[in-house]
Structure formats: structure tokens, C-alpha cells
Amino acid sequence: MHRSVKLITLCIVLALGLAGLGTRAAAQDAVTIQFWTRDSNRAAVETLVKAYNALGKNQIEVTVIPAADYITKVGTAAAGGAAPDLLAVDLIYVPAFAANGQLADITDLAKALPYFDKLSPSHVRLATYQDKIYGLPFNAEGSILLYNKTLFKAAGLDPEKPPTNWAEIYDAAKKITALGDENYGFWFSGSCAGCNAFTFLPLIWASGGDVLSADGTQPTLTDPAVKSALEFYKKLWDEKLVPEGSKVDTGTDFLGAFLTGKIGMAGSGAFSISVLKNEHPDIDFGLTFLPGENGGKSSFAGGDSIAIPSGSQHPKEAFDFIAWMSSDEVQLEQYAKLAQLPVRIDLTSNKYFDADPRLSTNAEAMAIGKTPYSLVYNELFNDANGPWLAMIQKAVYDGDVDGAIAEAQDRFTQIMAPK
């Protein structure tokens, strides 16, 4: 899904000093701010920037870069002294960018915001390196469990009572698959590494386990909750409660399978709500939290952070945009009103979400969510040839759960070893 963060280490640390970032005198004239983002954010970014530019203050020019080329492009620009003024980047990469000196320290400016302690906790955590803050949340995601209410009802299940533990997921999946007519109870993209971080990790977290130590320096794949979660997926697969095609899906049908109306349950994120409501109004869907083995709930808090590269020509003006986009009015009128999750937990209850409880559930999922903190996240979790996906496939499809865990623990340890 992303290029390796090892590319980041090839970039030269830019020489522009950051001391004075928060005290530089305001520019007397309006300036043009360069803002880079991935193509997956194009619509949201362009809508937001249009509103900001209409204020008649500084102006922002957006450069949209294909997601597959984004990390390489940013790294090359940093090395060549051509970094933009603002950068929207997947929150999982912020620790590596910060560690390599490529982002401006915005600690004082960030903490001066009156709602700083209300910003998405996972975003702030991943933007913190050696007690300094190098970014703030830009957009938010929270993984959840989608379910098809029509299929629930047809299978004799209460469509208003979604599963709250793994046994209930299994029971519902079995009854929905028994309907026949190519209906299946569950879906996951078996060849997509990042997808299975987004929707499989919360099952482990909600069960009280984890795959990394609290400081993110050691793998903990031998945690019993990891084995239980792998055995759960293996059971769903062995009993053919998941379509055969899911095994080879690289993420193309991460949501697409559910959109067929033939899948009872699938892990997904906030983005799926607007797609389902606007493009597939015929599907009566609900969503709930991803549960633990015996209850509990968790979520993968995803999305992008917004940061100021250390080579920015207009850092103070760039932060003005960050403060504006995280303000009450913008978070409500430009985010919540458009069915996007606010990046502030104090605004997840609002008049727009009150009209659709599914949005409120997803917002709560984001607020309680976790995100692994690692300088080598890509090598561990996103690489299609990495140890995370290899562990899942060996356990679920080959049936060797213990061997898969042992091999993944070794490979995680090698990748995470100090270089």
C-alpha cells in the first residue's frame, strides 16, 4: 500500500533551523503556501483549501501526488531542498519523518491550541518523537465492523443486535452462509497486508493483547491473544464462511465485496459510510465495534497527519492553516457536515452525526482506537512480502498457527533490531 519508509532514511536532513518557528513576526503581505497530499485525499483537500482561500488571507496551492509515489517524491524533494510548506502524510509514517529531521518542531504552537488535549490521541501520539510534536491530525479513520441488516434478518438474526464477541460473529456468519445463493457470512482481504492491520489488529487489542511492546521497540506476537485471533480467522476459513476469492484479494475488494450485498460482515472504516449511503442506498447496513474474543471493543485509528516540513518557506503561515482547519467551525461545517470524522474527540457528538447514529459509532471507534508506533511500520505491517501478512496467510490458509507466530516473531525482531 505504501513504499518502504526506508526511503525516508535516504533523505538529507535539511539545514533550516526551527528555533523561532513560533515567534517569527507575521508576514506583512499574503503568501502562497505549497501543500502536498496523496491522490486519495484529493476531494477532501481541495474542498478544504477552497474554503480557506476564500477567506482572502494567505493562499494555498495544492499538489496532488499518486499514493504509490508519495514517499519517494517527498524524500527526493527534502533531499533537494524543495520541500513544500505543508504535508499531509499517513500518520504511521510521521515517527520516521520526525526521527530523520524532516519535520518542523511545532510543540509550542500545538500545545497553545485551546483544544490540544481533545485532538485524536493516536495522531498526537504518533506525531510525538523524543517529547516533541511534529504534526497534528488532518483526517481521521476508525476501523469498524460493517454488517448487512437484510442478510441478518433473512438468517433469523436480529438486525439491531450486531455481534459483540467472536462467538456471535461465528454464529451469524454460519447462519448467513447457510442461506446459500452465494451469500457468505464474513469477508477479509487475504492478500492485503495493510487491510489486515486495519481490521485484524483491533480483534487482538479488544481481547487485551498486542503485537508490539508499549514503547514500540519489541514484538509481542507470542501474546496468547494473537494466537486466538489467528485461530478464529482459520475457523471461519476452514468452515467456508468466507468466499474463496478473499484469499487472493490484495485490497481491491476490501469494501467492494460488501457492496455486492452478498457478504454478511466485513471490517471497514468511516469512508465506507458515505460510499454506501450515496452509491448503494439499496444496501441496508449497520456498523458496530470490532470486538474481542469475549467482548470489549477496539479500533485502528488511521488517517493522515498534517505537518510542516523543516524546509518550509512559510512555517508560521502554514501553521495558521493547521489551526484554522482544526477549529470548531471547520471541524463541524467542513468535516462533520460532509460525513467526515472530526479530528477532535470533543466534537464527535454533533448535530450532523446525531441524524445518523452510525457516524457516531464510527467516531467513538476512532476515539478509542490505537495505532502501532514504529519507525519501521511499513516493513512490519504494510509490505506485501512482510512478516505480518505472511503470518496471517500461513496460519489461516496453511493451518500452521504456531509456526506462523514463531516465524513472524523472529522476522519482526530482525526488522526492529537497532541498525
Q: Which one of 355, 373, 397 terminates a domain?
A: 355
Q: Quick one: 92 and 123 in the same domain?
A: yes
154 in a domain, yes or no? yes
371 in a domain, yes or no? no
Domain of residue 339, CATH code: 3.40.190.10
241 in a domain, yes or no? yes
> How many domains does the chain fold into?
2
Q: Quick one: 23 and 74 in the same domain?
A: yes
pTM: 0.86
Q: Quick one: 172 and 231 in the same domain?
A: yes
Q: Quick one: 259 and 390 in the same domain?
A: yes
**Dist. CA 163–CA 226, nearest whole Å:** 20
28 in a domain, yes or no? yes
Q: Quick one: 265 and 391 in the same domain?
A: yes
CA distances to 144, 233, 403 from 393, rounded to whole Å, are 22, 10, 11
374 in a domain, yes or no? no
361 in a domain, yes or no? no
Q: Quick one: 288 and 401 in the same domain?
A: yes
CA distances to 29, 49, 55, 321 from 59, rounded to whole Å, are 11, 8, 9, 10
Residues 6+ apart with CB under 8 A from 292: 165, 166, 203, 205, 206, 207, 208, 225, 298
Q: Quick one: 253 and 307 in the same domain?
A: no
Beta-bridge partner residues of 32: 59
List, for residues 285-330, the tens digit of each pLDDT value. 999 999 999 999 999 999 999 999 998 999 999 999 999 999 999 9
Q: Quick one: 189 and 245 in the same domain?
A: yes
CA distances to 126, 313, 361, 396, 411 from 141, rounded to whole Å, are 14, 30, 12, 27, 29
**Dist. CA 193–CA 207, nearest whole Å:** 21
List, for residues 1-21, the tens digit of each pLDDT value. 443 433 333 332 332 333 344
**Dist. CA 40–CA 138, nearest whole Å:** 13
Per-residue pLDDT 10s for the chain (419 aa) are 443 433 333 332 332 333 344 433 344 578 999 999 998 889 889 999 999 999 998 999 999 999 888 888 987 887 777 889 999 999 999 999 999 899 999 999 999 999 999 999 999 999 999 999 999 999 999 999 999 999 999 999 999 999 999 999 999 999 999 999 999 999 999 999 999 999 999 999 999 999 999 989 999 999 999 999 999 999 999 999 999 999 999 999 999 999 999 999 999 998 899 899 989 999 999 999 999 999 999 999 999 999 999 989 999 999 999 999 999 999 999 999 988 999 999 999 999 999 999 999 999 999 999 999 999 999 999 999 999 999 999 999 999 999 999 999 999 999 999 87
Q: Quick one: 272 and 389 in the same domain?
A: yes
Most distant CA atoms of the chain, gap in Å:
70
pLDDT score recorded for residue 28: 52
Asked whether the beta carbons of 221 and 395 are under 8 A apart, the reply is no
Q: Quick one: 264 and 405 in the same domain?
A: yes
Query: Domain residues for 120?
Result: 5-141+302-355
Q: Quick one: 193 and 260 in the same domain?
A: yes
